[in-house]
Copies of this chain bind each other. A is one copy, B any other.
Amino acid sequence: MLFNITAKDKKTSARTAELELPHGKIDTPVFMPVGTNAAVKGLRHDSLDNIGFKIILANTYHLYLRPGEELINNFEGLHKFSNWNHNILTDSGGFQVFSLAPFRKIKEEGVYFRSHIDGSYHTLTPEKVVNIQKAFRSDIMMQLDVCTPPEITYKKALEALELTTRWAKRCKTEWLKEMPGYEGVLFGIVQGNFYEDLRKRSAEEIVELDLPGTAIGGLSVGEEYNVFKDYLSYTAALLPEEKPRYLMGIGTPEYILDAVENGIDLFDCVLPTRIARNGTVFTPEGTIALKKARFAESHEPIHEGCGCYTCQHYSKAYLRHLFKAGEMLGPMLASEHNLYFLNNMIKEIRQSIKEGKFAEYKSAFLSRYNSAGSTGKAS
C-alpha cells in the first residue's frame, strides 16, 4: 500500500492523496458505497463503475453468515465472486454483531452471538475476522473492535477501548502471517466513547501498533451533532498525518464536509441508497422527497445540470410515478442519482483542496444546501 498526499489545505486539515491498493489506485477523500452482501442495493456494478467508484465496502458479518467465507474463498475472494474488479474494504463484523444480532456476549477471546438470519450460534475472534477477510481478499480489512453507544459509563468505555487495543494486536499478528498472492492491509480502530482522555489513550495505543491506516469508530452512533463534531476534530488530530484516516459510517453531505475538514480520507454509509429506496434524493439545495405531490407534474430532472443517468433521462414526475406505483425502477434510479451526487461532490471537494479553496467550497455548499429551508427538505 502506498499513500501519497498530493495537496494540503492551508486553513483546515483537509488533504488530497493517492492511495494505492491491490485493486488499483484511488483518489482521496473518497466516499465508499456500501454493498452489504457484495452488492450495492439497486445498482449494477457497471453503473458504479460508470459513476467512477473505485472502492466499495462490504459487510463481513453478513457475508460470513451467508454465503460464508469458504465459498467466497473458493472464488478466490469477493472480487471474483461478485465480479467487482476495483477495491473492497470490509469491516470486521463487530458493529453488525452489536446492531443486528439478537444475542451477543463479549469475552476476552472474542464475541459470541446468534445469527439474525437463523438464530445459529457463532463466535468471532480477532484472528477469525482477519482470516475471514483474507478469504475475502479484502483490500482493506478492519480489526475486530468494541463499539459502544453514547452515554455509557467511563469504566465501560475504558474496558471497551482496552479490549479493542488487545484485539488490534491479535489482529495484527494474524494479518502479518503471509498468504501468498494477498497484499491487503489492516486498519486499526480508535474507540474511547465520548471521553476525551479515553479517545486520546485509544489513539496512542492504536497508533503505537503502526498499522497501515487508522479508523475512527464509535462516532455517528446516535450522539448529537455538536458532540460528533467535537469528537471528530479531537480524535482526528491524534492520528498520524502520513497514514490514511477512515471515519466509519458517515455519508450525509454535512458530515462528509466535516470529515474532510478534519483530514479524513475515507468514509462510507448506507444512507444514500437507503433514503433513495424511499424516494429521498440529494440536490444542491438539500434533499427532496420524490413522492411529494408538488412533483407530480414536474418535467424537470431531480437536479438540472446533474450528469447522472437518472437526471439525464427522467423527470421528477416520472420518478414520482414510479415510487407511487411501487416500481423497482424508482429505487434503482434514485439510488444511482444519490451515489452520483455524493461522488461528484467528493470530486469537487478534491478540486477545491487542490486549489486551496476548501473552506470556501464548504461554506458555499452548505449555504446552498440549507437554502431551501424546510420546503426543500425531505420530511
Residues of A whose CB lies within 8 Å of any CB of B are 36-46, 62, 66-67, 71, 74-75, 81-83, 296-297, 299, 309, 313-315, 317-318, 320-322, 324-325, 327-329, 331-333
The answer for the CA separation of A321 and B63 in the assembled complex, in Å, is 10
**In chain B, what residue has the closest Cβ to A37?**
B325
Given A39-B329, A321-B67: A44 and B296 interface contact (C-beta under 8 Å): no
| This chain's copy number in the assembly | 2
Interface pair A331/B328, CB less than 8 Å apart: yes
Q: Which residues of B are found within 8 Å of A309, using beta-carbon distances?
A: 44, 46
Q: Which residues of B are found within 8 Å of A62, using beta-carbon distances?
A: 325
Interface pair B41/A83, CB less than 8 Å apart: no
The answer for the CA separation of A38 and B321 in the assembled complex, in Å, is 9
Interface pair B71/A317, CB less than 8 Å apart: yes
The answer for the CA separation of A82 and B45 in the assembled complex, in Å, is 24
Q: Which residues of B are found within 8 Å of A42, using beta-carbon distances?
A: 328-329, 332
Interface pair B327/A67, CB less than 8 Å apart: no
Interface pair A325/B41, CB less than 8 Å apart: no
The answer for the CA separation of A313 and B82 in the assembled complex, in Å, is 9
The answer for the CA separation of A328 and B273 in the assembled complex, in Å, is 12
With beta carbons under 8 angstroms apart, the residue of B36, B44, B322 that contacts A39 is B322
Task: Jot down 15 A-B pairs with beta carbons below 8 A, ordered by A.
Answer: A38-B321, A41-B328, A41-B329, A42-B328, A43-B329, A44-B329, A45-B313, A66-B321, A67-B317, A67-B320, A67-B324, A71-B297, A81-B317, A328-B328, A332-B332
The answer for the CA separation of A41 and B41 in the assembled complex, in Å, is 15
Q: Which residues of B are found within 8 Å of A296, using beta-carbon distances?
A: 67, 71
By Cβ-Cβ distance, the 6 closest A-B pairs, closest first, are A37-B325, A39-B329, A39-B327, A67-B321, A83-B313, A42-B328
Q: Which residues of B are found within 8 Å of A45, using beta-carbon distances?
A: 313
